[in-house]
Amino acid sequence: MTDRRRINGPPSGTRPAVFASSLKSASGISTGRPQRERQPNELRKLFLKTGLIPSASGSAYLEFEPSASLAAARSSPQSLIPPSSALKLACTVHGPKPLPRSASFSPNLVLTTHVKYAPFAARQRKGHIRDASERDLGVHLETALRGVIVAERWPKSGLDITITILEAEDDRWWGDAPDSHDAPWGMMNVLAGCITAASAAIADARIDCLDLVAGGVAAIVSDETAEGETSSPKLMLDTDPAEHKSILSACAVAYMPSRDEITEIWLKGDHSKASLGTDDKNLGHEALIDGAVNAARGAHTVLAEAVKESAERFAGLMLGGNAA
Amino acid sequence: MTSTLPAVAIPGQRLGPIASFSAGPGTHVQNANIYASIAGPVLVDAHPSSKTKSTLSVSRTALRNPSAAPSSSTPPPPTTTTTTTSGPQPPKPNKPRYNTLPAVDSVVLARVTRVQKRQATVSILVVLDDSVSSHPLNPTVSASDNDNIEAILSSAANPENHSSSDELRFQALIRREDVRAVEKDRVVMDEMFRVGDIVRGSVISLGDQSFYYLTTARNDLGVVMARSEAGNMMFPVSWKDMRDPVGGGSELRKVARPF
């Protein structure tokens, strides 16, 4: 389906021009892969702020800290191509508002979620019409949020949650891209970011929730050592897919810490291989889920601070009066 | 007992056991504990008669009154039965607005968008909160509780703003038999409402998929603001008449008691 109302870009993806000077040798590519410099259980820093979009009833902006390689490449660029990318997204919540006339009576809040990549968000240009991956993310986000919202307190009304992804996570390192048919691992991180940002925006809109739901990602990766051998699979939290040659499996969860409940779980990849041949028997999907939950706990601390800041700003007069 | 309560709660934060509190708006109960479900300041509504448990709630609106904070040591806030007159006594405890959605029995202000023989269609502009509906005789209280009501009304009464955002507002119907309590069969809708009037009504039903149902069958319900055919704001002279201060002409309306 083509979009006739706009002037579209080229139908196939565009890629920034690769200049000869940036690829001095074949080994240049392999050494160009960014390396993870964090500990396996160390998360990237989050920036989360609510209430940035005044016309919406609730909004939030989320940004991941750029990984060390990206930060280094930005300060002293070796190439025009950034080695990795860091997630940036904005979430708006509109509502509660009346349902459209055609909709049937609903005693509950009707939740609709839209996830849209900006055309410039990924290395591959995204069209204006939502593609399969964006619809997929929207469905995952809806299941994650549906278990959190107290829907029966808002009869006959609808809630629209719209997420615009300004910069997406890479699915893999760009140098691997041409010959890789790997799974889109970056979507897991995007989903986790969407869940955390949507939770903050819903709290900002003062829609009743059971808890602040946070998203987290963990993955089992087998990294190459310097000699080119693959090491034993390891569990890593908050993986940046550009930093790993082979991700065996990954898991994204939406987790409510105060109730210890998971509202959404998304497992991808083959984790049977990971549990074989290692001394740690506990490296199956349960370890993967536990790792993702731990990553979500980390995101929740940031989320709680951001929501608290929003509530205090909201009740600023009252607190100021008490302090005086 | 209020010492352990946080001043500001976030969703999912435990506030207290259900044994010592009862759950109010903005909270939910899980495993015999009260948890906050929205972010905002925590309120403790202590009843003067200590038989009932005090109600914990999380406020949806900002508090303009520091004395309503949970750490206040002022005498317990008067309940809704002790109506304060609009004297020079501003520290009235500001009741948090429970819900921005219309519910059954909530009093709303709405603008008439269409008048038919059997019904009038209105779009709901604002839902007045509990403290207003409990003593609606006092218009100054209703004005002070929601700062933005006046702004909403003045912009809604302006003919230029009509039909600009009706799609985003809840629609409601006032049926002919719900207009007034007496002589229901003699009601002529054209003599009760005109398009553009601001009506105070009470919700009687959530209705069907598209409309709420309102009633104005009470003395304090009916048209509160109206413009004459000449376009001037009219003032009420009786329960069924409003007069244009410029032209002097009189028009028929189902008028709400103004005080």
Domains annotated for chain A, with CATH where assigned, are 40-321 (3.30.230.70)
SS3 B53: coil
Q: Which of A82-96, A266-280, B34-48 has the lowest mean pLDDT?
A: A266-280
Question: A15-19, A96-100, A141-145: which has the minimum mean pLDDT?
Answer: A15-19
Instruction: Return all residues near A225 (Cβ < 8 A) that are at least 6 apart.
Output: A231
Compute the nearest-CA separation of A88 from chain B (Å).
24
Beta-strand (E) ranges in chain B? 8-9, 14-17, 21-23, 27-30, 33-36, 40-45, 54-58, 107-115, 119-127, 171-175, 198-205, 211-215, 222-225, 235-238, 241-243, 250-252
Is the CB of residue A99 less than 8 Å away from at least one CB of chain B?
Answer: yes
Give me the pLDDT at residue A85, please: 87
Min distance A35 CA to chain B CA atoms (Å): 37
pLDDT at A109: 92
B119 — phi, psi (to 5°)? -160, 160
Contacts of A97 in chain B (CB under 8 A): 168
B83-107 pLDDT, tens digit per residue, is 333 333 333 334 333 346 888 888 9
Asked if the bond preceding A96 is cis, omega within 30° of 0, the reply is: yes
Interface check for A256 against chain B (CB to CB < 8 A): the answer is yes
Q: How far is B221 from B217, CA to CA, in rounded Å? A: 7
Shortest CA gap A7–chain B (Å): 30
The whole-angstrom distance between A262's CA and the closest CA on chain B is 14
CB contact under 8 A, A308 and B8: yes
What chain B holds in terms of domains, given with CATH numbers, is 8-58 (2.40.50.100), 106-132+147-252 (2.40.50.140)
3-state secondary structure of A159: strand
Contact residues on chain A for B14, CB-CB shorter than 8 A: 258
What's CA A26's distance to the chain center, in Å?
Answer: 32
Q: Is B16 on the interface with A (CB under 8 A)?
A: no
Report the alpha-carbon distance of residue A72 to residue A78 in Å, rounded.
9
Top-confidence residue, A142 or A182: A142
**What integer pLDDT is reported at residue A279 of this predicted model?**
52
Nearest to B66 among A154, A204, A318 (CB): A318
List of chain B residues whose C-beta atoms are within 8 Å of the C-beta of residue A322: 7, 66, 69, 71
Q: Is residue B249 a contact partner of residue B243, using CB atoms and an 8 Å limit?
A: yes
A258 to chain B, any CB pair closer than 8 A? The answer is yes
Q: Which secondary structure element, helix H or strand E, spans residue A63, and what is its range? A: strand A58-64
CA distance A169 to A97: 33
Provide ipTM, 2 decimals.
0.80
DSSP label at B223? Answer: E
Lowest average pLDDT, out of B9-13, B71-75, B102-106, goes to B71-75
Q: How confident is the model at residue B146 (pLDDT cuts 50, 70, 90)?
A: very low
Per-residue pLDDT averaged across A188-212, rounded?
A: 94
Res B156: pLDDT: 62
Probe site for chain B from A145, A209, A309 (most B CB atoms < 10 A): A209
Residue B190 backbone dihedrals phi, psi, to 5 degrees? -65, -25
Query: pLDDT by residue (tens digit) across A265-287?
Result: 999 887 666 554 455 555 678 88
| Rounded mean pLDDT, A100-104 | 84
- Cα(A71)–Cα(B40) distance, integer angstroms: 37
Collect all residues of chain B within an 8 Å Cβ-Cβ radius of residue A212: 10-12
In order of A37, A93, B179, the CA distances from A312 in angstroms are 36, 20, 44
User: How does pLDDT run across B229-255, given as a tens digit for each residue?
Assistant: 888 899 999 998 999 998 888 999 999
> Crossing angle for the helix pair A186-204 and A132-146, nearest 10 degrees?
50
Query: What confidence score (pLDDT) does residue A281 get?
Result: 56
Q: In this structure, is the dihedral angle defined by the CA atoms of residues A15, A20, A23 and A26, taken in order, positive or negative?
A: positive
Residue of A164, A234, A229, A228 whose CA lies nearest to A194: A164
Torsion on CA atoms B88, B92, B97, B103, rounded to nearest 10: -80
Q: Which of residues 105-164 of B touch A (CB under 8 A)?
A: none
Residue B56: strand pairing partners? B23, B44
Q: Which residue has the higher pLDDT, A324 or A121?
A: A121
Q: In the predicted model, what is the mean pLDDT of residues B153-181?
A: 75
Residues of B in contact with A259 (CB under 8 A): 12, 30
A127 is written with which tokens? 């069209």
Residue A175 has pLDDT above 80, yes or no: no
For the ranges A74-88, A130-144, A176-190, the lowest mean pLDDT is seen at A176-190
pLDDT greater at residue A133 or residue B74: A133
**Nearest chain B CA: its distance from A112 CA (Å):** 16
* H/E element, A322: helix A316-323
Largest interatomic CA distance in chain A: 67
Looking at residues B141-162, what average pLDDT do you find? Answer: 53
